[in-house]
Structures are given as structure tokens and as C-alpha cells.
Amino acid sequence: DSPADMYVPSMTTLGEIRVEIPGRKPDDPVMTDEEFQRSTKIYFERCAGCHGVLRKGATGKALTPDVTRANGYEYLRDFITYGSPAGMPNWGTSGDLSEEDVDMMARYVLLEPPAPPEFGMSEMRETWQVHVAPEDRPTEKMNDWDLDNLFSVTLRDSGEIALIDGSTYEIKKVIKTGYAVHISRISASGRYLFVIGRDAKVNMIDLWMESPDTVAEIKIGAEARSVETSKFEGFEDKYAIAGAYWPPQFVIMDGDTLEPLRIKSTRGMTYDEQTYHPEPRVAAILGSHYKPEFLVNVKETGKILMVDYSDIEALKVTEINAERFLHDGGLDSTQRYFLTAANARGKVAVVDTKESKLVAVVETEGQTPHPGRGANIMHPTFGPVWATSHLGDDTVALIGTDPEGHPEHAWKMVQQIYGLGGGSLFVKTHPESEHLYVDATLNPDAEVSGSVAVFKVADLANEEPEFTVLPIVEWAGIAEGQPRVVQGEFNQAGNEIWFSVWNAKDLESAIVVVDDKTLELKHVIKDERLITPTGKFNVYNTRSDVY
């Protein structure tokens, strides 16, 4: 043999391995290119959040062709039309999708999922814009706004945020952002506000400007949900980080300009079976107060990454095995422990951010825990506890968080209480408050989804504490549509809690302000600019992790 022959691959090595014929299969459903493109868009906007871009399943079931073809076209069409009590929306009967669209989507999910393009450094840099360079920004605060008591409010369907004064309820400014901003986070100094859209666009807003506005922006992928900033002493405002659903990756950026510095893919093995997952999405990210680290929840592989940003040229990542389907979470009252829901597994993982260790995985005994950042309460019997409600039922789990003072209760579910009904998304309290608020946003009953349950902390000493119902939608005085009440957020002083009354895009929405001491209506914010308000983020409470 000549040396060149050595490089000809031997055909016999494929041996017994069976390979799929690439491209269209004989029994593929017929679909035009135009339909395929339109379905992909609908799938991305409506379905991928729960089922995954590659349809491997997470909060929603897997929709890969092996599964969908076994179920068949009629089954899929009816499921998309009518939904299910387990959380699948009724896209057909709600009017969100037409009969033709439902038919098209049922055919679409019978096909192999297309993988959208990757989004690396060159793509990110192409979208990166610095509108006002750091040297051209003010050196002191140039407005008379009370920044610590400002609220950043997501206007979901208009692709904007509203900045609302916490004392006068005046909408100070509406700022154009990415599509459906998911969360707002604030830099450690309180100066910069970061928001991230579902379309993975990050806006960095300088609150010191005479009229606060976007000073830098970037797109970090095709779909995203999380953004955070470095909070550890000595690194205040130095870095920002954003996590993407697609491509599955996170990026560390310069905290002054959003210049992308390091991108890290999260693709890899699941923590338990150690099988490869092509789409482990980045869910919640939290900046540690104990170390120069970001905690990054990787949903599908069930790993919490502790990303040490002290030297980003030699990035050290501690990979903690937790539980699959990590979603959202927050800190305990000492800010040392990160409690985060593995929602489709009914568990809460607890990480010690000081020791960089998993300390427990707690069963919440409810269906799909969904805490937001959770709520820290001084329980009359069990000492400091952290609460989460559930998407799938009416239970609220209280978990002990004080291993020193109350070791017998630490990292155990010490009490289960019952709220208004299933479909809860968020719980909320404040160190100054004697109350725990629980919403029921996605409950199918309009009266339930339009109200909030409030527990008195002192009443938690009873085995089955009663709650007061606040009729938030009724207080808002909105008759049209089925507005849903979502996400309580306290003002800085902790004496008022704000709820969004989230209506359809073309109908009136509102924000209802409740007096925390008397549980009476204090104010209703209505304005034609308040289109589909959802998340609200008080600058001080968000920056300082007060919840």
C-alpha cells in the first residue's frame, strides 16, 4: 500500500451500525416550504418554551417524531385544540391558533425538528451596539428620580419596559426593548438596569442619565430568559451575564458596555444517567454575595454551574449535580443558600454559595414548584423558612433554612399550606411584612386567577392556616377580557405590594397597589401605555435580593 491509500476510510468499519436515511422519509406528512417556515415561527414563539427547540421535552412532553408519530395526527390536532389539565394551553378553543394553524402544527410536529443556527462571538458582535460610551455618560446622577424605589415593569407584548416611581405611581418613562422582556436585574451599585427579551436581546439602561435610556445593547442568541450582574465585593458592576435557551449557552459581558467576552456552551451530559443532551437550556442565573461567582441553572442536564469570574481568561466552573429541569429560584434570608426548583421533578435543590456545595434536594410534595425568587419568612414555629407555590396544584411548601439555629428543620419541608388553587406562579413577602402573598395566575377559573391569597405569618402556627382573598381584578375595575393577576412585588419600604393585572394586548390592563398593613386597596395605576404588564422589579429589592 502507498501512504495515500492508508487515508481511504475503510467501509467495513461501519459494519453492523444501522443509519437513518437523511432527508424526507416515505411516510412524512406533506408540507409546503411556506407552511414549514410559518410553523417553525409559531413553534418557536408558543411551544419551544416548554417543549424545547429540539422538542426533547422539559416542562412539556417530548415531541420528537418517535413520540408524535406513535400518537398520530388526529391525537395531536385535538391536543393542540383543546389542551390538557396538566398545563397544555387550549390553543384552538382559546382562539390563539386558527383551525388551519392547528392542522398545520399537528403535521409539523410529525416531522423532524429543524435546528436553528448557532450564535457565536461573531454573530454576537454584529448585534452589539454601544449607544453612549462610558466616557460620555454622567459622572453623577443627573435626575431627581428616587432610584431605589423605582419599579421596572415588563410590558410583555409591546416589547417595552415602563419605569414607574414607587411613591407617586407616575410612569416616568417607557423604553423600547427586545420582544417580551422576561426579567429586569440591577447592577450592584444600583446605576445600571439590565433587561432581557425572549428574543435574547439585552438592553443596558443607565439610570443616572437625565432621562434614563439604553446605553448599550446586544443579542446573545435566538431565545433567552436570564440576565444578571456581578455582585461580589470588588467586582460591583464589572460584569454582566446572560443565559440563552437557544443556542444553549451563556455569555459573560463587560459590565460597562455589554461587550461579549466569554461564551460557554452548556451542551453535555445529564447529571444522572450521563447521556448527552444537545439542548440544556440556561434558566435562572444568580450573582453570589459570598464569592466572585455566578450560579447558572442548566435545565435539562440538572446541573448548577458555579462560574468563578475572578479571572475570565481562566474560567473556573464548579459543576454541581442537582436535579433535572432546574428553573427559577432565590436566596435564603442570610443570602448564603440558593434554593432553586427542579420543577418537572417536584424538588428544590439547595446550594451553599459559601462552600460551593449541594446541601440538599428537598421534595416539595406538590406538582411543579414555581417560586420565582421565593419568599423568606420568620415562621412562628420553625424559624426562618423559604416558600414556593406550585404550578400544578394549590399547595405552598415551606422549607426550613436555618441549619445553625434550627438544625432539625433545615432543608426539610416543614409545612404544606393551601392557597387559592392550581396555576400559581409566584409567592412574595418582605422583611418588613407580616404577610405571605400567593397568586394563582394560570388557574382556569377567572375569579381565582383574578385574586390573590394572603396568609398572616403568625397564623402559620396553625396546622391549616386560613387566608384572606384580595379581589385584585375587581379592584382594578376591569370588566373586559380575563385579566390574570401576576407577581407581587414590594416597594423599597416594604409597606406596599404591587400586582399586575395582565389582560390581552388590545384590552385594558393595570397595576394594583395594596397596603400591606391593612390589606386594603391603595391605588390603581392605569395608563394606555400599560400594555400587558407582567413582571415588576423594584430597584432596591432586586439589587439587594430582598424577598
Which residues contribute to the site for ligand DHE (CB under 6 A)? 49-50, 59, 154, 156, 180, 182-183, 225-226, 283-285, 327-328, 372-373, 425, 486-487, 534-535
Q: How far apart are CA 335 and CA 546, in angstroms?
A: 9
Based on the residue annotation, tell me whether 104 is a catalytic residue of this protein: no
Which of 383, 488 has the CB closer to ligand DHE? 488
SS3 for 10? coil
Rounded (10°) angle between helices 99-108 and 73-82 = 130
Instruction: Give the nearest distance from C-beta 349 to ligand DHE in angstroms.
Output: 14
Which of 432, 459 has the CB closer to ligand DHE? 432
Q: Which of 31, 88, 142, 378 is catalytic?
A: 88
Instruction: Give the nearest distance from C-beta 130 to ligand DHE in angstroms.
Output: 24
Which of 409, 435 has the CB closer to ligand DHE? 435
Q: Which residues pair with 203 in a beta bridge?
A: 195, 217
Based on the residue annotation, tell me whether 182 is a catalytic residue of this protein: no
Question: Which of 495, 536, 501 lies closest to 193 in space, CA to CA?
Answer: 536
Question: Which of 227, 144, 208, 149 lies closest to 538 in space, CA to CA?
Answer: 149
Instruction: Give the nearest distance from C-beta 5 to ligand DHE in angstroms.
Output: 54
Residue nearest to ligand DHE (CB): 49
Cβ atoms of 514 and 499 within 8 Å: the answer is yes
SS3 for 338? strand
Instruction: Give the nearest distance from C-beta 122 to ligand DHE in angstroms.
Output: 26
Based on the residue annotation, tell me whether 88 is a catalytic residue of this protein: yes
Q: Which of 182, 277, 289, 327 is catalytic?
A: 327
498 CA to centre of own chain: 19
DSSP readout, 342-397? EGGGTEEEEEETTTTEEEEEEE-SSSSB--TT-EEEEETTTEEEEEEEBSSSSEEE
Instruction: Give the nearest distance from C-beta 391 to ligand DHE in angstroms.
Output: 9
Report the 10 Å Cβ neighbour count for 442: 19
Instruction: Give the nearest distance from C-beta 197 to ligand DHE in angstroms.
Output: 10
Which of 101, 223 has the CB closer to ligand DHE? 223
Q: How far apart are CA 342 and CA 296, in angstroms?
A: 13
Pairing mode of beta strands 337-342, 347-352: antiparallel
**Residue 269, all three cell numbers:** 451530559
DSSP readout, 294-329? EEEEETTTTEEEEEE-S-GGG-EEEEEE--SSEEEE
**Residue 210, all three cell numbers:** 437625565
Cβ atoms of 163 and 212 within 8 Å: the answer is yes
Based on the residue annotation, tell me whether 289 is a catalytic residue of this protein: no
Instruction: Give the nearest distance from C-beta 63 to ligand DHE in angstroms.
Output: 15
Q: Which of 182, 277, 289, 370 is catalytic?
A: 370
Q: Which of 50, 142, 209, 378 is catalytic?
A: 50
**Which residues, in sequence order, are CB contacts of 412 under 8 Å at separation 6+?**
362, 399, 400
The DSSP secondary-structure symbol of 402 reads: -
Cβ atoms of 206 and 192 within 8 Å: the answer is yes
Instruction: Give the nearest distance from C-beta 397 to ligand DHE in angstroms.
Output: 17
Q: How far apart are CA 105 and CA 89, in angstroms?
A: 14
Instruction: Using CB atoms within 10 Å of the CB of residue 209, give its burial: 0 to 12 exposed, 13 to 18 middle, 19+ buried.
Output: middle
Question: Which of 241, 50, 186 lies closest to 536 in space, CA to CA?
Answer: 186
Which of 292, 329 has the CB closer to ligand DHE? 329
The DSSP secondary-structure symbol of 410 reads: B
Instruction: Give the nearest distance from C-beta 327 to ligand DHE in angstroms.
Output: 6
Distances (CA, A) of 128 to 85, 221, 257, 328, 405: 42, 12, 9, 27, 49
SS3 for 147? helix
Instruction: Give the nearest distance from C-beta 374 to ligand DHE in angstroms.
Output: 9
The DSSP secondary-structure symbol of 66 reads: H
Question: Which of 150, 179, 160, 185 lies closest to 373 in space, CA to CA?
Answer: 185
State the catalytic residues: 47, 50-51, 88, 327, 370
